[in-house]
């Protein structure tokens, strides 16, 4: 199977290319659009139209002219001078994501990039090329993108047989013709909201999966705590005009509809703790945040965020400079998503704490029979606390900061890069926190009345978990179990079971 690209993709289609490595093809219309835009650049050069970054220098050097003779060397100079992000390399998924977003940026036909350049990126994706890209030191775009372009020019490093090799050697092995850049192409390859949109696309895809798992764990928590489902009553939900909250409550009730435990405790408690009672009131706004972030990401993927753009009006060609690569849209959304992930994490941790505390749960301390000589799950909550603390630090908004750059030519900087980049770590931490909660739920279930039937949904999950998670009779090594449950959640397997 291959994904046919005309102008844009859905997030699901993008992830098929990014994560699942489906091949990418360009439609005839896409190719024609790109070629027409390239023809416009060539015509603008012939007409001596001044173009930022094409016939001039960049940033504070925009008043200095670049001669035609310097053009080819200038492309390489741009990439060399801008490939200055540092530190640990980003993941293969993230590199693939940026490359795909570069293609999407150029395929609209407003950038003047050659079809050959986009074909080089497409071929590198299709042949599963993993380029070395240091991940730190960007305020929005430029640096990471420059590392990618420089490698496809034959100057950087590419992974081959488990080692970073000179890119020229690896490109030759894969029979990929290196980039041969001309007017404006280097500038295009590093301009746009490409890295932030790539990080955001991967992040929002994983957030959707986590929220589905969180909803399922929430239903399991209601049951295993012997909580009342009256807090999710449709009549109660109907008086608050928030559709996402109403949907979350309905899903919880659907998961628990045939639970004898929930039936028994329906009138037992007048009001449960907030970490149980407020489940729909948290899932609802997080779902709304994800939906709004998705819409923003899709708009970015369907946009040209290059600078300058090439605009054709009949026979006239106009080069328009502005600031479409600015990252506020993605930055604001991802900072809000970071806060949302923290809110899910703090509820998950609080619910785990309740299960481990014998005074709150009514079950053996730390969910092990002999808690005097065994610690049970005691220290797993420490792990949650450490992960949550890290998440709270990361959730501090990045876009509220401002550090001027480029001799004050860029006196206002959105700082959306770190907003988007940190989502991967926040998603990972929440995944671990939820894995520990799932372990606690599983152990807690063993101390529930066995004569009362679990819901058909939760029983399916317990049946699956019994094959991979041992019942805790005494202290055992917990790390491998947590990792196993982490993968169960990350892969979406838990949701598939039901």
Does residue 371 carry a pLDDT above 90?
A: no
> Residue 86 phi/psi, 5° resolution?
-130, 175
Please give the pLDDT value at position 350. 99
Please give the pLDDT value at position 276. 98
**What does the block give as tokens for 236?**
């109660």
Four-way CATH pick for 2-191: 1.10.275.10, 1.10.40.50, 2.40.30.10, 1.10.1750.10? 1.10.275.10
β-strands 309-313, 316-320: how paired? Answer: antiparallel
What angle do helix axes 279-301 and 328-356 make, rounded to 10 degrees? 150
For residues 122 and 163, is the Cβ–Cβ distance under 8 A?
no
List the Cα angle 423/429/432 in 5-degree steps.
140
Does residue 60 carry a pLDDT above 80?
A: no
Q: Where are the domains of the chain?
A: 2-191, 200-497
- CA dist 259 and 391 (Å) reads 35
Under 8 Å CB-to-CB from 108, ≥6 apart: which residues? Answer: 7, 33, 303, 304
DSSP 358-383: HHHHSS-GGG-S-TTT--TTHHHHHH
**What does the block give as tokens for 45?**
């050069």
Please give the pLDDT value at position 65. 80
The secondary structure element, H or E, covering residue 317 is strand 316-320
Cβ neighbours, 10 Å, residue 317? 21
Across the range 170-199, mean pLDDT stands at 96
pTM: 0.96
- List, for residues 436-474, the tens digit of each pLDDT value: 999 999 999 999 999 999 999 999 999 999 999 999 999
How is domain 200-497 classified at the architecture level of CATH?
A: Up-down Bundle (1.20)
Please give the pLDDT value at position 390. 99
Please give the pLDDT value at position 270. 87
β-strands 2-5, 23-26: how paired? Answer: parallel
- List, for residues 265-321, the tens digit of each pLDDT value: 999 888 999 999 999 999 999 999 999 999 999 999 999 999 999 988 877 888 898
Please give the pLDDT value at position 57. 78
- Chain centroid to CA 490: how far? 13
Query: Which DSSP state fits 2?
Result: E
- CA dist 213 and 487 (Å) reads 12
- CA dist 222 and 356 (Å) reads 15
**What does the block give as tokens for 8?**
């844009």
Please give the pLDDT value at position 7. 96
- CA dist 170 and 306 (Å) reads 29
Please give the pLDDT value at position 46. 82
Average pLDDT, the chain: 95
């Amino acid at each position: 199977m291959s994904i046919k690209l005309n102008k844009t993709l859905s997030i699901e289609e993008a992830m098929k290319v990014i994560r699942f490595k489906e091949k990418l093809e360009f439609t005839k219309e896409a190719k024609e659009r790109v070629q027409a835009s390239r023809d416009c650049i060539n015509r603008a050069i012939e007409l001596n139209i001044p173009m930022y970054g094409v016939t001039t220098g960049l940033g504070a050097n925009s008043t200095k002219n670049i001669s035609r003779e310097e053009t080819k060397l200038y492309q390489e100079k741009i990439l060399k001078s801008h490939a200055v992000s540092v530190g640990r390399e980003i993941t293969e998924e993230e590199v693939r994501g940026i490359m795909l977003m570069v293609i999407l940026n150029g395929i609209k036909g407003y950038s003047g990039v050659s079809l050959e350049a986009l074909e080089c990126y497409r071929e590198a994706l299709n042949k599963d090329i993993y380029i070395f890209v240091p991940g730190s030191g960007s305020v929005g775009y430029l640096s990471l993108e420059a590392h990618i372009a420089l490698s496809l020019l034959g100057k950087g490093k590419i992974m081959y047989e488990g080692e970073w090799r000179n890119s020229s050697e690896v490109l030759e092995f894969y029979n990929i013709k290196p980039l041969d850049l001309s007017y404006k192409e280097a500038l295009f390859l590093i301009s746009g909201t490409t890295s932030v949109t790539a990080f955001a696309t991967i992040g929002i895809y994983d957030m959707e999966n986590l929220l589905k798992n969180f909803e399922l764990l929430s239903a399991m928590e209601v049951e295993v705590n012997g909580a009342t489902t009256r807090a999710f009553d449709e009549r109660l939900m109907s008086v608050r005009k928030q559709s996402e909250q109403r949907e979350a409550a309905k899903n919880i009730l659907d998961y628990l509809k045939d639970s004898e435990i929930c039936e028994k405790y329906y009138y037992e408690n007048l009001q449960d703790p907030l970490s149980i009672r407020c489940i729909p009131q948290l899932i609802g706004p997080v779902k709304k945040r994800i939906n709004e972030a998705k819409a923003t990401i899709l708009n970015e993927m369907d946009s040209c965020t290059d600078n300058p753009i090439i605009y054709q009006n009949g026979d006239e060609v106009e080069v328009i400079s502005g600031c479409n690569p600015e990252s506020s849209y993605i930055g604001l959304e991802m900072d809000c998503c970071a806060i949302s992930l923290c809110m899910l994490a703090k509820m998950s941790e609080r619910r785990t704490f309740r299960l481990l505390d014998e005074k709150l749960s009514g079950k053996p301390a730390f969910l092990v029979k002999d808690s005097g000589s065994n610690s049970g799950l005691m220290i797993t909550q420490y792990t949650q606390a450490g992960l949550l603390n890290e998440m709270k630090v990361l959730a501090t908004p990045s876009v509220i900061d401002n550090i001027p750059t480029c001799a004050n030519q860029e006196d206002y900087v959105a700082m959306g890069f770190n907003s988007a980049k940190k989502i991967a770590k926040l998603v990972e931490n929440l995944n671990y926190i939820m894995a520990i909660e799932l372990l606690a739920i599983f152990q807690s279930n063993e101390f529930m009345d066995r004569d009362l039937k679990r819901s058909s949904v939760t029983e399916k999950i317990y049946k699956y978990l019994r094959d991979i998670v041992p019942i805790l009779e005494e202290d055992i090594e917990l790390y491998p179990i947590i990792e196993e449950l982490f993968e169960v959640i990350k892969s979406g397997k838990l949701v598939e079971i039901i």
